[in-house]
A and B are shown apart, each in its own frame.
Chain A
């Protein structure tokens, strides 16, 4: 089945169907139409999979997906135009340009045996948008962990887009393994580090380049020099207003000073109650945990007494509904699972340090995160943070927003991934930048060729160093040699 899909797409691509800009624009417009006409169905599927509140679906998925399509539609004309670049004196006269061409047939895998990221539809659709805009044929393998959304994709996409070039393949480990055995021109994978290694190893067999959008523990440093109430609201919505913490860029843990922690915890309690009421498990604005496997994974993180003892707010769970309330912990021992693995859930541990500057070393002692956040008005701390914390992306005084800016590349580094996308970066992700040099026969530098006399070597040196005089000499036919 996977082999057939790959074969059909390769034939479509070889036939040139995906190359014309009009075709690409038509597919993107069809996607916009699909999102607009089926908004209700999409929201319903997200609600079925995650109990995702309608507002979240709209904010994070539907509107972002539409915005991505529109952005690509607007940008495509200039993105597909060759870029002229200066040629060198060495090759005078010549013209040089960089032409973007599609890689060919690409595979987009949305999070395998690991929950999808914050914007599930967005995470799946955005790379597909980039691949189409760049002129590729695409296979999308949506996450089987979100079955309603996955089957919605499988049903809807063929109704709107060119099915001979854009396909959805549903399934779990087996189907994904079959897909990974085929030869693709690029694989874009969103999910966990463990599976990413499998994907990259499979890609290595075919020398297929990969883009890996992985996770990590996204830290939030909160300094005392802030507008605390606003900061806490932003952190709270970034944590629990994003699939209830099941998002790759959701804040994973907070670092603050020992002195400031009590005030911070207090503010958190007030804000959580404001947002979700006294019994968050009853709030319609809180997503549930994606499935019982992850529910159990999360609850086991706080089973250990030395962790459970650190809960300062929340902790309620409802196994039947797969819901966990926003939970705050203070000073959890650093060697526990909660503090070593990516949480991907509604637990928010707070780590305390003596001086706020120590938080930078703390973050750097862990693997590079997908996103790092800092709340402070202190400019020096901001500069220090930007210069010394390697991360996929960073935000100062807010959380997660950079995801929505199509002018910023979105992607990880180190354990949090490789390659970036969003906006034009998606287009670039699925393009090959082909260097094209056009020379004439005007400037023939005989100095290039053997036999290599000393005279020739002198002129050659000059030419390589961009010497105008050497160029003139070469153009005039020096050194003269017998024919």
Chain B
């Protein structure tokens, strides 16, 4: 898109917002309903786009994107009235008569950058929040998932208010140009490197940002107490690694930590489960493009790392397919253990005692999610208290994304700002403090000229010592 056109798009959005049309409950509901219709009527096309871009199976596409989006839109529709209602707050007696409330208002015009791996979800989930909050929105899907970007560009304007909700296609240059403009908030999902650039650009206009970045999500694996539980745990781990866009997900398990004596048992069940799940090559998504394929292949080809490949490792460059791969104890300073993998490679690190995993995790930057499979309540408590991450999930992985009541977002290097459910609404709102007073009671001691007596009176009042205040006022106490 040309620079001039971009400028026009931004002004149109600003005009749409200034006109006030995005403020009403009716408008917001209409957009959400429009979005629901889009997802219902264009579902097959959406699945095709996701399959074209990522080789994503329709079940995964429904489970991780379309299905969740419909659920979120419905929740927003149901709760919108409540979210928009001002919250009454307590006002101290000294201000009587007075009322206090917190009134949510839209920020204005929002810019959402989506990542390529969950291209529909990462565009539309924040969109739901931004619209629910009454803003005008510009969506910039990733150019690395072009079919989905096109799908969004073609359909969003048809089902929603095209003057106030726009899709901008293009690559990094378009992203940079967009950031030259002033937005009222920017949500960016992607890598920390680009996150820094977005925040730096935003600082010029004092635009607040929310950054959903990645990280190496560790999985602490304590031994399970029965074969049944072990199988279930491994199902969940395999699902959370390879059934999530082939590991190309910010919430996917990046690496596993396990006690060395349990390794053989774990490996046996891992391999058999992987075989069962991925008997059909179709069941796992592709690597998104040649560049990322190359990046992942380099991680494996590193000569310090290659010897640690335990299972899998085969690669098909033409079809952008990498076999689900397990590595055992690659060197901790190798790229595969220092960078976010974002692919179907699972390093397993063995420890003497499972409790050592806490110290291990603390040496790494704070991840978006931390997973732990354990029945030990004491270990659970230690993990929650002694590690920091966007979220912690015990005995499962990735599913926390589906719970609206839980805020989704990172901390430290994994980002700032949270959304989902009502947090999405709040992310794109300003909570305005509003206090109203009357003229009935006047506390003249507020006003100059000031003297010690007035100060003494004030002291009592500020301690909410009304009795003392009255005495002082009557001159019966200093």
Q: Which residues of A contact B (CB under 8 A)?
A: 14, 16, 19, 53-56, 58-59, 63, 67, 85-88, 90-91, 94, 96, 98-99, 101, 103-104, 185, 193, 196-197, 200-201, 203-205, 207, 209, 212, 214, 226-227, 230-231, 233, 236-237, 241, 275-277, 283, 285-286, 377, 382, 386, 390-398, 401-402, 404-405, 407-410, 413-415, 417-420, 432-441, 444, 446, 448-452, 456-457, 460-461, 464-466
Contacts and interface: CB of A to CB of B under 8 A. Distances in A.
Contacts of B459: 58, 63
Contacts, number: 291
B395 A67 contact: no
Nearest to A393: B433
Contacts of B439: 226-227, 230-231, 377, 397
Contact of B206 (A103, A200, A207, A397): A200
5 contacts: A55-B454, A204-B200, A233-B447, A435-B400, A440-B395
Interface residues of B, number: 102
Given A53-B450, A237-B446, A437-B403, A396 B434 contact: yes
Contacts of B254: none
Contacts of A103: 411-412
B232 A441 contact: yes
B462 A67 contact: yes
Given A59-B458, A408-B89, A413 B107 contact: yes
B405 to A, nearest CB: 4
B208 interface: yes
A88 B402 contact: yes
Contact of B283 (A91, A277, A452): A452
Contacts of B408: 435
B55 interface: no
B239 A449 contact: yes
Contacts of A460: 59, 62-63, 67
B274 to A, nearest CB: 10
B396 A437 contact: yes
Given A275-B447, A432-B388, A449-B277, A437 B399 contact: yes
Contacts of B60: 452
Contact of B435 (A275, A408, A414): A408
A201 B279 CA distance: 50
A435 B406 contact: yes
A452 B277 CA distance: 9
B432 A207 contact: no
Contacts of B385: 19
Chain A binding site: helix, strand, loop or mixed by DSSP? Answer: mixed
B279 A91 contact: no
B448 interface: yes
Interface stretch (B98-106, B152-160, B257-265, B345-353): B98-106
Contacts of A393: 432-435
A461 B433 contact: no
Contacts of B388: 101, 104, 432, 434
A200 B203 contact: yes
Nearest to A91: B399
A464 B62 CA distance: 9
A390 B394 contact: no
A398 B391 CA distance: 43
Given A204-B199, A405-B91, A444-B232, A450 B395 contact: no
B71 A405 contact: no
A382 B433 contact: no
Contact of B279 (A19, A451, A461): A451
Given A87-B405, A452-B283, 20 more contacts: A16-B386, A55-B451, A55-B455, A58-B458, A86-B405, A96-B406, A104-B412, A196-B206, A205-B196, A207-B416, A212-B206, A237-B447, A237-B448, A401-B98, A405-B95, A435-B391, A437-B399, A449-B238, A450-B243, A464-B63
Contacts of A285: 448-450
Contacts of A67: 462
Chain B binding site: helix, strand, loop or mixed by DSSP? Answer: mixed
A125 B329 CA distance: 48
A434 B392 contact: yes
Given A54-B455, A63-B459, A405-B91, A397 B438 contact: yes
Interface in B377-397: 380, 384-386, 388-396
A386 B434 contact: yes
B206 A85 contact: no
Interface string B55-86: 00111101100011011000000000000000
A14 B437 CA distance: 47
B71 A461 contact: no
A393 B100 CA distance: 11
Interface string B363-380: 000000000000000001
A436 B391 contact: yes
A390 B430 contact: yes
Contact of B229 (A55, A90, A276, A441): A441
A91 B394 CA distance: 12
B50 interface: no
A201 B63 contact: no
B200 A58 contact: no
A451 B446 CA distance: 74
Nearest to A236: B447
B192 interface: yes
Interface in B308-322: none
Contact of A193 (B206, B229, B416, B438): B206
Contacts of B279: 451
A381 B388 CA distance: 48
A452 B416 contact: no
A88 B401 CA distance: 11
B278 interface: yes
A239 B410 CA distance: 42
A104 B208 CA distance: 21
A67 B70 CA distance: 46
A188 to B, nearest CB: 14
A482 to B, nearest CB: 9
A407 B448 contact: no
Nearest to B462: A63
Nearest to A410: B433
A396 B395 contact: no
B95 A450 contact: no
B303 interface: no
Nearest to B423: A433
Interface string B403-419: 11111100111011110
Contacts of A444: 232, 235
Contacts of B283: 450-452
B448 A392 contact: no
Contacts of A404: 92
B103 A386 contact: yes
B384 A99 contact: yes
Contacts of B392: 434-437
B71 A466 contact: yes
